[in-house]
């Protein structure tokens, strides 16, 4: 394993295989996600990178016909063990999707608080503080602090995505999963999100899936390259992009396929 | 058999070549076909206007004689030729609202169960059977109501209701069977399939990303439904309910058989009442004078305007969700 020894282990996939019916979308992947670093998963469309990500918070199993073999360890506890509640797990692992998914009937503030409300934290002063903190972390506070109670739909796409990040970090998860978070954003919005990745890794362990290699190179400390469901290579980002060890990785990052 | 030419035939000299036909020029049969279809398509909307026109002309004598007082007076005396439709309007609205009170929770539960919780194999059979309820003829519901529903209400529903809520004005008097309660309950059963089917469509139109977003933040299935799915579909769900209301307002046969047909305004659910649809069905054959007939026409006009308006509102709301524009539902 490439992960350096001086970071505390947080999350690890061990011989993980994810299936849709009989189709193996992720094949026997073992991968360590060290704490407080950004790990990027790259690879061409359909390589299983998003499916792998969705196995890490047990979202994969919500798809009808989907199943998982192997383990995912969070602090050495297998999250697929019988006594682990996926609901509790997802409260410890925040997730942001490709397209912004604000709740259209809720205000900006209620959107951010939505994750807290399902956590059963009700005291309104607590919630207000948490909303403000989350919006500050998502670098959205200055833009929305005067209109917290207006509709979230009035925000631009980039702002909506940062709102979703705020919603994901509001319950103070330990891990943040980003599934191509900039796929639907313009360059300015993309840059804001990438800057956020840098800022947030101090607080959270971040796993980001992207099909954009430049983005992986810009934001991540470690990069894993997947192809056809298998993990081909993982390493420190600057090493993987400059001195790839595997032929396929080199072919992909130099643009010969993908 | 001639073989297909492989080489194109020699080109005719340019100047003698006929001008190509415009792409829009069609041949005669197409033109006829199109004009016939256009006629049909325009004829149906025209029918609505014709019906409205007939109702209005028919109602004109009553409109002239009674003016707006027709809406709020209660005398219905064919002998003295005095007509006021307030009890029917009240009965129509009261029975329909009672039906909604019972049907909405039931239908929404069915729709939420089918879209969010049901195992896959159960989904289609249950949806199919629920929708089949809408295929039962109204008169069959009426008969069933007389022989099954009313005895059931008398034996198992009214006594406990009276025991708990007997002090309220809604449960005064003796329950003989035909009543606002019986009419409302049968209406509820009849509109459940409509509300459930449309709600189900609306919930299916809610993007999966909304459910996932809620589930990913650690919501339970029920919390995801409550906090993400139902609010997103709100406009369409309200539309489904209003569509059910439209059905209930106009439903005639089963209600006529169960509601008791008494021209009177009373808040007790146990007492007989009357609806506009029932009045028209019961009394048209015996409306011998012009004014009597005209009064019934006016009742029909009121019912027509009411149901068309209610249905139009419902369809606009549903259409907004189906188009992914439920965002506007905040305006509600």
Mention every residue, 6+ apart, whose C-beta is less than 8 A from residue A234.
A2, A31, A222, A223, A224, A225, A240
Examine the pLDDT at B25 and tell me if it is beyond 80: no
Question: What is the distance of C-alpha B153 from the center of its chain?
Answer: 25
Q: Which two tokens stand for residue B88?
A: 């029917």
Q: In chain B, which ranges are continuous DSSP H helix?
A: 28-66, 86-112, 120-132, 138-144, 150-152, 158-165, 180-205, 208-216, 221-224, 230-232, 234-250, 253-258, 276-283, 290-322
pLDDT at B20: 57
Band (B1; pLDDT cuts 50, 70, 90)? very low
pLDDT at A126: 81
Chain B residue at shortest CA distance from A152 = B327
Question: What is the distance of C-alpha B31 from the center of its chain?
Answer: 37
Find the chain B residues whose C-beta atoms sit closer than 8 A to any C-beta of A: 120, 209-210, 212-220, 223, 227-228, 231-232, 234, 326-327, 329-330
Q: Which of B210, B212, B217 has its CB closest to that of A167?
A: B217
Contact between B227 and A114 using a beta-carbon 8 Å cutoff: yes
Beta strands in chain B (DSSP E): 76-77, 82-83
Instruction: Encode burial over B5-43: b for 16+ CB neighbours within 10 A, e otherwise.
Output: eeeeeeeeeeeeeeeeeeeeeeeeeeeeeeeeeeeeeee
Q: Which of B213, B234, B326 has its CB closest to that of A101?
A: B213
Please state, rounded to an integer, the average pLDDT across all residues of chain B. Answer: 88
Which residue's entry shows tokens 């209005």?
B56
State phi, psi for A17 to the nearest 5 degrees.
-125, 130
Q: Which of A64, A87, A99 has its CB closest to that of B120?
A: A64
Within an 8 Å CB–CB cutoff, is residue A201 touching chain B? no
Give residues 104 to 123 of A whose Cβ lies within 8 Å of B.
Answer: 104-106, 114-115, 117-119
Beta strands in B25-118 (DSSP E): 76-77, 82-83
Domain-wise residue ranges, chain A? 9-253
Looking at the DSSP bridge assignments, the partners of residue A71 are A14
Please give the Cα distance from B135 to B126 (Å, whole number): 15
Q: Which of B216, B217, B326 has its CB closest to that of A104?
A: B326
pLDDT at B17: 56
Q: In A150-246, which ranges are continuous DSSP H helix?
A: 157-169, 187-200, 213-219, 237-242
Query: Residue B45 class from Cβ within 10 Å (0-12 exposed, 13-18 middle, 19+ buried)?
Result: exposed
Four-point Cα dihedral A188, A189, A193, A196, nearest 10: 60
Mention every residue, 6+ apart, whose C-beta is less than 8 A from residue B260.
B178, B179, B180, B182, B183, B271, B272, B273, B274
Please give the Cα distance from A66 to A17 (Å, whole number): 11
Band (B270; pLDDT cuts 50, 70, 90)? very high
Contact between A118 and B223 using a beta-carbon 8 Å cutoff: yes
Most confident of A72-81, A170-179, B182-191: B182-191
| Chain A environment of B327 (Cβ under 8 Å) | 104, 153
Mind telling me how many Å the CA of A121 is from chain B's nearest CA?
A: 13
| Chain B environment of A164 (Cβ under 8 Å) | 213
- Average pLDDT estimate for B204-210: 90
Contact between A118 and B227 using a beta-carbon 8 Å cutoff: yes
pLDDT at B315: 83
pLDDT at A5: 41
Higher pLDDT, A126 or B287: B287
Contact between B218 and A62 using a beta-carbon 8 Å cutoff: no
What percentage of residues in chain A have a pLDDT greater than 90?
65
Four-point Cα dihedral A22, A23, A25, A30, nearest 10: 50
Mind telling me how many Å the CA of A137 is from chain B's nearest CA?
A: 17
Mention every residue, 6+ apart, whose C-beta is less than 8 A from residue B311.
B242, B243, B246
Examine the pLDDT at B12 and tell me if it is beyond 80: no
pLDDT at B278: 95
Q: Confirm if A58 and A80 have CB atoms less than 8 A apart.
A: yes
Mind telling me how many Å the CA of A258 is from chain B's nearest CA?
A: 27
- Average pLDDT estimate for A24-42: 93
Please count the residue pairs, one from chain A and one from chain B, whose beta carbons lie less than 8 angstroms apart. 72
Mind telling me how many Å the CA of A142 is from chain B's nearest CA?
A: 24
pLDDT digit string, tens, across residues A67-120: 999 999 998 889 999 999 999 899 889 999 999 999 988 999 999 999 888 766
Is residue A44 classed as helix, strand or coil in its secondary structure? Answer: coil
Examine the pLDDT at A64 and tell me if it is beyond 90: no
Contact between B219 and A87 using a beta-carbon 8 Å cutoff: yes
Contact between B232 and A164 using a beta-carbon 8 Å cutoff: no
Please state, rounded to an integer, the average pLDDT across all residues of chain A. Answer: 89
Q: Confirm if A52 and A232 have CB atoms less than 8 A apart.
A: no
Q: Which of B215, B228, B330 has its CB closest to that of A90?
A: B215
Contact between A97 and B234 using a beta-carbon 8 Å cutoff: no
pLDDT digit string, tens, across residues B221-246: 999 999 899 999 888 899 899 999 99
pLDDT at B145: 96
- Average pLDDT estimate for B305-329: 74
Examine the pLDDT at A7 and tell me if it is beyond 60: no
> What kind and span of H or E run contains A227?
strand A222-227
Examine the pLDDT at B167 and tell me if it is beyond 60: yes
pLDDT digit string, tens, across residues B72-126: 999 999 999 999 999 999 999 999 999 999 999 999 999 999 999 988 899 999 9
Contact between B216 and A114 using a beta-carbon 8 Å cutoff: no
- Average pLDDT estimate for B306-320: 87
Contact between A90 and B326 using a beta-carbon 8 Å cutoff: no
pLDDT digit string, tens, across residues A232-257: 999 999 999 999 999 999 999 888 87
State phi, psi for A42 to the nearest 5 degrees.
-120, 170
| Chain B environment of A105 (Cβ under 8 Å) | 231-232, 234, 329-330
Longest dimension (CA), chain B: 100
Examine the pLDDT at A6 and tell me if it is beyond 50: no
The architecture that CATH gives domain A9-253 is 3-Layer(aba) Sandwich (3.40)
Band (A221; pLDDT cuts 50, 70, 90)? very high
What is the DSSP-derived secondary structure letter of residue A107? B
Paired sense of beta strands A175-179 and A93-96, if any: parallel
Band (B314; pLDDT cuts 50, 70, 90)? confident
Contact between A101 and B210 using a beta-carbon 8 Å cutoff: yes
Please give the Cα distance from B97 to B263 (Å, whole number): 19
- Average pLDDT estimate for A12-18: 94
ipTM given for this complex: 0.88
What percentage of residues in chain B have a pLDDT greater than 90?
69
Contact between A103 and B326 using a beta-carbon 8 Å cutoff: no
Contact between A104 and B212 using a beta-carbon 8 Å cutoff: no
Higher pLDDT, B167 or A118: B167
Domains and CATH numbers, chain B: 66-322 (1.10.3720.10)
pLDDT at B317: 82
Q: Confirm if A96 and A164 have CB atoms less than 8 A apart.
A: yes
First to last CA, chain B: 70
Please give the Cα distance from A163 to A41 (Å, whole number): 23
Residue from B116, B213, B224 whose CB has the most chain A CBs within 10 Å, to mutate: B213
């Amino acid at each position: 394993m490439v992960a350096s020894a001086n970071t505390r282990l947080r999350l690890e996939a061990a011989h993980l295989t994810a299936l849709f019916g009989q189709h193996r979308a992720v094949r026997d992947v073992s991968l360590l996600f060290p704490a407080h670093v950004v790990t990027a998963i790259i690879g061409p469309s359909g390589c299983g990178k998003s499916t792998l990500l969705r196995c890490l918070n047990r979202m994969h199993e919500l798809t009808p016909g989907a199943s998982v073999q192997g383990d995912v360890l969070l602090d050495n506890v297998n999250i697929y063990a019988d006594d682990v509640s996926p609901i509790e797990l997802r409260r410890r692992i925040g997730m942001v999707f490709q397209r912004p998914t604000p709740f259209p009937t809720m205000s900006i503030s209620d959107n951010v608080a939505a994750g807290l409300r399902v956590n059963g934290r009700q005291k309104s002063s607590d919630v207000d503080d948490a909303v403000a903190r989350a919006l500050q972390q998502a670098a959205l506070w200055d833009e929305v602090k005067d209109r917290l109670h207006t509709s979230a739909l009035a925000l631009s796409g980039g702002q909506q995505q940062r709102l979703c990040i705020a919603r994901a970090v509001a319950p103070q998860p330990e891990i943040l999963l980003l599934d191509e978070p900039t796929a639907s954003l313009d360059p300015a919005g993309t840059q804001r999100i990438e800057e956020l990745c840098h800022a947030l890794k101090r607080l959270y362990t971040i796993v980001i899936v992207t099909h954009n290699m430049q983005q992986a190179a810009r934001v991540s400390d470690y990069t894993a390259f997947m192809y056809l469901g298998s993990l081909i290579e993982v390493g420190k980002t600057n090493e993987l992009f400059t001195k790839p060890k595997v032929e396929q990785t080199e072919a992909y990052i130099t643009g010969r396929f993908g | 058999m001639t073989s297909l030419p492989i080489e194109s035939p020699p080109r005719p000299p340019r100047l003698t070549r006929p001008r190509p036909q415009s792409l829009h020029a069609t041949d005669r049969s197409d033109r006829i076909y199109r004009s016939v279809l256009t006629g049909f398509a325009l004829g149906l909307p025209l029918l609505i206007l014709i019906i409205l026109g007939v109702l209005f002309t028919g109602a004109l004598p009553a409109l002239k004689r009674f003016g707006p007082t027709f809406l709020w007076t209660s005398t219905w005396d064919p002998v003295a030729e005095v007509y006021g439709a307030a009890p029917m309007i009240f009965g129509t609205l009261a029975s329909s609202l009672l039906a909604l009170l019972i049907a909405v929770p039931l239908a929404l539960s069915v729709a939420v169960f089918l879209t969010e919780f049901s195992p896959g194999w159960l989904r289609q059979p249950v949806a199919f059977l629920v929708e089949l309820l809408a295929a039962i003829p109204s008169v069959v519901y009426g008969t069933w109501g007389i022989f099954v529903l009313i005895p059931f209400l008398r034996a198992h529903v009214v006594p406990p209701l009276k025991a708990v809520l007997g002090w309220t004005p809604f449960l005064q008097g003796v329950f003989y069977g035909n009543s606002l309660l019986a009419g409302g309950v049968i209406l509820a059963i009849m509109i459940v399939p409509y509300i459930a089917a449309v709600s189900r469509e609306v919930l299916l139109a809610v993007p999966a990303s909304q459910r996932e977003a809620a589930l990913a933040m650690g919501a339970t299935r029920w919390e995801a439904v409550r906090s993400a799915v139902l609010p997103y579909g709100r406009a369409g769900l309200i539309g489904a309910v209003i569509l059910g209301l439209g059905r209930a307002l106009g439903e005639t046969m089963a209600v006529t058989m169960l509601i008791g047909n008494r021209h009177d305004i009373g808040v007790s659910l146990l007492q007989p009442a009357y609806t506009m649809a029932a009045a028209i069905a019961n009394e048209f054959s015996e409306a011998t004078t012009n004014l009597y007939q005209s009064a019934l026409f006016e009742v029909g006009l009121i019912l027509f305007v009411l149901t068309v308006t209610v249905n139009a509102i419902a369809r606009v709301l549903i259409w907004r969700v189906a188009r992914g524009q439920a965002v506007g539902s905040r305006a509600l």
